[in-house]
Amino acid sequence: MSENSERVTLLNESREFIPSDAVTDSSNNGNYQWMVFRDCMNTFVHSLIALSVFVTLCFAFQSIPLSAFQLHICLSVAGYQLLMSHGILSIACYNGWSSSMKHSHRRRSHWILQLAGSILAIAGSVIMIRHKTVNFNTVHGKLALAALTFTCVSLLNGVMTLYKVGVGNAVSSQTFKISHLMIGSSAFAVSSVCLSFGFIKESFRNWSSNEFAYIMIAITSSYTIIIVLKPWFTIISKLTNKVKSKIC
C-alpha cells in the first residue's frame, strides 16, 4: 500500500514540472509539428544572430586602441543586431530564454532590451557623424540615417504605448501598439540592410573575402526576415480585426 502511494506521489510531483500539453499524447496535438518547427527556427535565429555579431565584432576589434570607426561598428551592431533583435524576440511566448516568463515580465524585458539597444545604436551613429566631415552621402549612410530616425521615433512611440499616453480619444492605445510594431520592426529591418551594405565595403572584403561578405549578407537577411515576420503578422491581424469591427 505504501509503495503504491509513493508511486502516485512521485508521479504527481513529476507532473508539476511538465507542461500540460506535454502530458497528453503529442500525436493527438495538431499543432505539435508546428511547435517543433517554431522552436527549431528560434534556435536557428539565435545561432545566426550570434554568428553575425561575433564576426562583426572580430572585424571591429582587429586593432587596439579602437578608432571612431571601430567604436561605431561595435556600438551599432551590439545595439541593433544583438539587443534590439532579442528585444523583439523576447516578447514572443515561444522565444527560448523568455518562454517561461509571464507576459508582463516579457514586456519588461522587451523595453529594457530595446532601450539599451537604442542607446547603443544612437551613440554609435553620433560617434560616426561627429567623426566624418561629410555624412549620409553613401547608401550605407542613408540607411543608417533612416534606421536612426526609426529608432528615435520608436523610442518615443514605445514610451507612449507603455504608459498608454493618447491624444484624448483621438488616438487609441491599440493604434499606438500597431504603430509601435510597424516603426520598431522597420528600424530593425533597415539596420540589417544597412549592415549588409557595410559587409560589401572594401574594408570588410579586404579583411575577409568577397565570398565571405556575401555569406554574412545571407546570414543577416535570413534572421532579419524571420524576426520581423511575427510583428508584421500581428500588425496585419490587428488591422484586419480593426477593419472588421468597423464594418460590422
Residues in the chain where the model's pLDDT stays below 50: 1-3, 5-28, 168
Instruction: Confirm whether 10 is domain-assigned.
Output: no
pLDDT digits (tens, 9 = 90+) for 32-83: 888 888 899 999 999 999 999 999 999 999 988 999 999 999 999 999 999 9
Instruction: Confirm whether 106 is domain-assigned.
Output: yes
Angle between helices 32-60 and 210-247 (to 10 degrees): 130
Instruction: Confirm whether 8 is domain-assigned.
Output: no
CA distance 109 to 132: 35
Closest CA to 191 of 224, 213, 219: 224
Q: How many domains does the structure of the chain reveal?
A: 1
Instruction: Confirm whether 21 is domain-assigned.
Output: no
> What pTM value is reported for the model?
0.83
Closest CA to 81 of 105, 54, 44: 54
Q: Which three cell numbers stand for residue 92?
A: 514572443
Instruction: Confirm whether 5 is domain-assigned.
Output: no
Instruction: Confirm whether 248 is domain-assigned.
Output: no
Per-residue pLDDT, 170 = 52
Domain range for 114? 41-243
Per-residue pLDDT, 159 = 84
Instruction: Confirm whether 30 is domain-assigned.
Output: no
Instruction: Confirm whether 27 is domain-assigned.
Output: no
Q: Read off the CATH number of the domain in which 221 is found.
A: 1.20.120.1770
